[in-house]
Chains A and B, each alone.
Chain A
């Protein structure tokens, strides 16, 4: 079932001035309910603009954004309600932390939703657990946390609104491998357990291959490629043309195939490669 649909969305920054800059041109997009979609593209390709469209921070110049079949701009005064349904985690979200304790900061969104105290407390606990924050961190000041913990606290702040669609702009940027892993694993668990739809921007093809079943590639403000992992990673030349690529392990597998190894071309994760290679090399454990 489609939960979010964009039809013919266009947006230009500084419209009508000499510095006018077309950020999005004729975007058509459908996002399935409960899916995890990855958005890939260069810096400046319009990804962040697109994400700001989804929760109504920006209003398209033309075209429609349909949430559950309803235009989100039908009643502009109610746009903040849309923001509770489509939660946006911006890039480097740790800069938005402000409250005295992590708990209070995570509660900021639910408080704006005017929920009662008990419900807020319940949601804060749940969001903190999804984001991987241990309970002892909740009563600390957000400014005492480490970089990775701050990031998780900020993500929890959006998760606590329990949005039907969770949108994240490079949630793992600048984190170490363990931090990346924790964040993506938390997102996956949030999606499975709450049934939410997740849209995530990342520059790491490895993360995309591991967690996102559908991929959208943007270039120059337009959709360049769209489809399943196999459809997108199956055309490495096309990705290379715009300076992107396929996961490292897929490149390795391609080399091995050139060398005559009978491997399937659609191997995108290290786990899949391991499972395919071990029997070929006479190994036991898969």
Chain B
């Protein structure tokens, strides 16, 4: 059913990663992504893999749950690897048949590419999505982008929009479930038929869903106005963000991470791409 879809995968806990400031985690995640693309050699990948495993361990999120975030991407990872095997050229030809040429470099490149995506997803999930509530995350984005307010970018409004959107995802999923049940009770059939029939069968779900989403948005706007919401100007926060000890620790971890990658690239450039 629809409700099995996990969105906002926050997994509660009290680890360093959970306690760190969401702004710090967001910056750390950006650094992690950027550095991941500087990794070039086998030693570098080994280091980043170990580092990511370390992140998973300190996050306290069960490995099984972390792997669940990879599953939806398995196809993309496999496809990327597959394409890279055939498209990369190099010096060591391993296999040739008609227009298909497979080089050793292609296989290595494909493996590295797959590993990179895998690490990207796992690292981002434990550093950010599993350990940060969606609300804390939007808060962090708002804070980090707040300098843009000087040039009249409506940062607060964007953050509020994101918060509201995320808040209503579960509600909309529940609503979809209900409407699907109601139409099934009237004999709707979502499974059989060709593509066109299947798309047509969605109309009785989508229209009521849109109607109620618009109505909900209207109601919410009125309710917010009733509580005197008038944008971000002069608005204070119940929970202000403060950097703390955990953020220093995260800074130390990031330093080790960056240094490790640079060292691997410089001193252990074996099997590199």
| A contacts, CB < 8 Å to B | 52, 55, 57, 80, 83-84, 87-90, 93, 95-99, 108-109, 112-113, 143, 157-158, 161
A90, A96, A143, A158 interface centre (most CB from chain B within 10 Å): A96
- Please state if B204 and A55 are interface contacts (CB–CB under 8 Å): no
A-B contacts besides A83-B187, A112-B187, 19 pairs, CB < 8 Å: A57-B181, A80-B187, A83-B185, A87-B185, A90-B181, A93-B182, A95-B175, A95-B178, A95-B179, A95-B182, A96-B183, A96-B208, A98-B205, A98-B207, A109-B186, A112-B186, A112-B189, A157-B186, A158-B186
- Residues on the B chain within 8 Å of A157, using CB: 186
Q: A95-B212, A98-B204, A98-B208 are in contact. Are A108 and B186 (CB under 8 A)?
A: yes
- Please state if A95 and B208 are interface contacts (CB–CB under 8 Å): yes
B102-127, CB < 8 A from A: none
Distance in angstroms between the alpha carbons of A95 and B216 in the assembled complex: 12
Can you list 28 A-B pairs with a CB-CB distance of less than 8 A?
A55-B185, A57-B184, A80-B184, A80-B189, A83-B184, A83-B187, A87-B185, A89-B185, A90-B185, A93-B182, A95-B182, A95-B211, A97-B208, A98-B203, A98-B204, A98-B205, A98-B208, A99-B204, A108-B188, A108-B204, A109-B186, A112-B186, A112-B187, A112-B188, A143-B211, A157-B186, A161-B186, A161-B187
- Residues on the B chain within 8 Å of A88, using CB: 185
Interface size range of chain B in the complex: 10 to 19
Q: Which residue of B lies closest to A91 (CB)?
A: B178
Chain A: minimal CB distance from B90 (Å): 48
Distance in angstroms between the alpha carbons of A80 and B186 in the assembled complex: 9
Distance in angstroms between the alpha carbons of A143 and B211 in the assembled complex: 9
Distance in angstroms between the alpha carbons of A87 and B182 in the assembled complex: 10
Chain B: minimal CB distance from A233 (Å): 31
B131-188, CB < 8 A from A: 175, 178-179, 181-188
Distance in angstroms between the alpha carbons of A52 and B186 in the assembled complex: 13
Chain B: minimal CB distance from A65 (Å): 15
- Please state if A57 and B187 are interface contacts (CB–CB under 8 Å): no
- Residues on the B chain within 8 Å of A95, using CB: 175, 178-179, 182, 208, 211-212
